[in-house]
């Protein structure tokens, strides 16, 4: 089962009376793609289609997940969850590395700023001899 099939099954679990046009809008794929995915789900016996009359007295379709469809959706949900958790862990590690790198960069910048402030103060302060605690700690 691909991600597109999985997303359509999830939407049909929430609302069995969705039209293919509405499925297309919710899942973010073309109407033609929804049609082919629904056909594939029917062929795999993951869903059944039942006809009914809707509130506008028109014939509409209701998609019902079969036990096989529910089982496949559950297995797929666990697989996607595991994949997302692994991805989350990798992202946390990457974020930590980036934070450490930016901390080093910030410390370097702050050190340069202190040196620049000290140099600037020497230019305009004739009494300055490296004894100011605000900028001469390391001198």
75 within a domain of the structure (yes/no): no
pLDDT tens digit string along 68-122?
999 999 998 999 899 999 999 999 999 999 988 888 777 777 766 666 666 665 5
Task: Output the pLDDT for position 53.
Answer: 73
Q: Do residue 93 and residue 124 come from a single domain?
A: yes
Q: What's the per-residue H, E or C state across 35-65? A: HHHHHHHHHCCCEEEEEEECCCCCEEEEEEE
Query: By residue range, what is the domain housing residue 112?
Result: 85-139
One domain for residues 132 and 102: yes
For residue 41, what is the domain's CATH number? 1.10.10.10
Phi and psi torsions of 52, nearest 5°: -155, 165
Question: How many domains, in total, are found in the chain?
Answer: 2
Q: What's the mean per-residue pLDDT of the chain?
A: 83
3-state secondary structure of 66: coil
**Within a domain: 57:** yes
Does 79 map to a domain?
no
Contacts with 139 (C-beta within 8 Å, 6 or more apart), sequence order: 118, 130
pLDDT at 44 over 90: yes
Say if 74 falls within a structural domain: no
């Amino acid at each position: 089962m691909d991600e597109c099939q999985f997303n359509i099954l999830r939407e049909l679990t929430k609302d069995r009376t969705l039209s293919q046009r509405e499925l297309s809008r919710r899942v973010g794929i073309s109407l033609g793609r929804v049609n082919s995915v629904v056909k594939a789900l029917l062929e795999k016996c993951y869903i059944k289609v039942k006809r009914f009359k809707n509130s506008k007295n028109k014939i509409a379709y209701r998609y019902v997940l079969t036990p096989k469809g529910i089982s496949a959706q559950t297995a797929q949900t666990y697989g996607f969850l595991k994949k997302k958790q692994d991805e989350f862990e990798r992202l946390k590690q990457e974020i930590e590395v980036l934070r450490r790198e930016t901390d080093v960069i910030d410390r370097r910048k702050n050190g340069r700023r202190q040196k620049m402030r000290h140099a600037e103060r020497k230019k305009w302060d004739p009494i300055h001899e490296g004894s100011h605690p605000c900028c001469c700690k390391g001198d």
